[in-house]
Structure 1
């Protein structure tokens, strides 16, 4: 529930921010409701494209069985992890110029294609955020069943409500939290969720490797736990279970999971360090 709520919240805030910037741009063009209709048609089409992707992913997952399904789900979890890191990096590079870039693209599309250009821009922007959300949610929900899936869906709905409230609060007052601080905090949480998805994908790969005829060292690396901290903090309930879903904590990690986790944080810190100054989306 926590994973789905945060994912939908963060992605919806970004989508609503983009829509708000484009809506403000449209209001300055002096062309009545014509451009508004193009804008919201693009938003609806972007949502439909995201929904189509969700259907295709679910269909592909259900059509496969056995090892093929496990490899497919592992690949989606790893892709979701990579996309989270890529999204954080994108905001670091383009956060300060987001409003300017959207206005420039909107001017160019309007000059070349009229309202259809604005429709296309809105559709691509919304479908990008929606597609990321679909992949993230699929990757995060792979291990859930029964009642957990119901809570996962409730978390997604709460995330959407929180996104609307967040946009209203951020536009209405900067006293408690600024755009820069909001995106900074949310990006840290996204990177932690990316680590959790990475661990989830690697665990599925480990399971498939253990079923193959592999050298003994592979079985040791993928299947043997380096330690067992369940007595101190179990990953099956309470705080440990929460950390397992949010940061990928495992009480009995294998060598592959440990190496992947350390490598993930080293790579992320090295990649994002030079871009740390750019984290300020222009929302005004």
Structure 2
């Protein structure tokens, strides 16, 4: 449940901050007339994300067991790839997100209402689709459809509240540090989802080695115990993983976490174009 709470909190907070930045900029520049297209784009993004999650959940029930496992394993790997890209992208752009969004919004204001809707949709929709896919993968990994969804819903609700507090100026936080710590935790969660995704591919008989266990600590950590459930819900711990799962988990979490925690190199600010000046030696065209 905590892992899904973390997913909902982080992804939801990214979307909430984006919306807050867009809305605050429009209010500050006295362009309240553009708020309706922004909210329309947000609503469309939320609706499509929910529909995507429903399709993932209910669209696979008619498949055979092998097909379900093959699809689940493939989507889990895709979800981990998206989340990995997301945590590195946010780590790199957290300090400059506001300026980047302001620039895109200025362009959209010039282009008109449709551009505003598209801007809000793309900004929020990416987070929504990533969230739906990753939560669905986490639900498949835990085998529990209630607590993961409840955790994700609580995370999203917390993110909306934090976003509102940011907008009202009642809450200030070091966003770069926040996204660094939550990103590191998400890398560990993603490693568990990735390992279980490969286990799904083994159950689908797409990959070998299903019967080759790396270890089995089921007696020490029973899956039905409270601590076994806690480990399963937080880091997708499995007491009897296959050798392939352990290898995949290690090959992912060690290099990715190391690269993520390395000090970031801030990019130099783009050079501003020199102001146009009149050359006194230039020859004027004759009348």
TM-score by length of 2: 0.82
Partner of 2:228: 240
Moved over 4 A (4+): 168-171
Segments of 5+ residues of structure 2 without an aligned counterpart are 267-287
Unaligned runs of 5+ in 1: 279-284
Contact 1:61–1:73, Cα closer than 8 Å, also in 2: no
Provide the secondary structure at the position in 2 that maps to 1:149.
coil
Tell me the distance in 2 between the aligned counterparts of 1:105 and 1:229.
Answer: 52
Please give the per-residue CA displacement for 1:208-244, whole angstroms capped at 9, x wherever unaligned: 23xx7x9xxx44xx32222222343334422233223
Matched-pair contact (CA < 8 Å) for 2:141–2:193: no
Question: Over alpha carbons, which structure has the higher Rg?
Answer: 2
Give, in angstroms, the shift of residue 100 of structure 1: 0.7
**Which position in structure 2 is the counterpart of 1:136?**
134
The CA distance in 1 between the partners of 2:191 and 2:83, in whole Å, is 9
Higher helix share: 1
Q: Provide, for residues 73-128 of structure 1, a one-character-per-residue CA deviation record: whole Å limited to 9, x for no partner.
A: 111111112221111111122112111110111111222x1232121100111111
> Alpha-carbon deviation of 1:200?
1.5
SS in 1 for 2:95: coil
2:174: which partner in 1? 178
* C-alpha contact (below 8 Å) 1:78/1:198 kept by paired residues: yes
Distance 1:59 1:234, change over 3 A: closer
| CA displacement at 1:141 relative to structure 2 | 0.8
Q: Write the distance in 1 (CA, Å) between the matches of 2:2 and 2:261.
A: 28
- Partner of 1:251 in structure 2? 239
Q: Sort the Cα spacing of 1:50 and 1:236 in 2 relative to 1 into closer, same or farther, 3 A.
A: same
Cα distance, 1:72 vs structure 2 = 0.5
Structure 2 equivalent of residue 281 of structure 1: none
| Counterparts of 1:18 and 1:114, CA distance in 2 | 19
The aligned counterpart of 1:11 is 11
Q: CA deviation at 1:13?
A: 0.9
**SS of equivalent to 1:62:** coil
Using a 3 Å threshold, how does the CA distance of structure 1 residues 242 and 276 change in structure 2: closer, same or farther?
Answer: farther
Q: How many residues align?
A: 264
Q: TM-score w.r.t. structure 1 length?
A: 0.83
Look up the match of 2:65. 66
> What is residue 204 of structure 1 aligned with on the other side?
200
Tell me how far 1:28 sits from its aligned partner. Answer: 2.8
In 1, the alpha carbon distance for the partners of 2:177 and 2:91 equals 13
1:58-84 Cα shifts (integer Å, max 9, x gaps) = 343123222111100111111112221
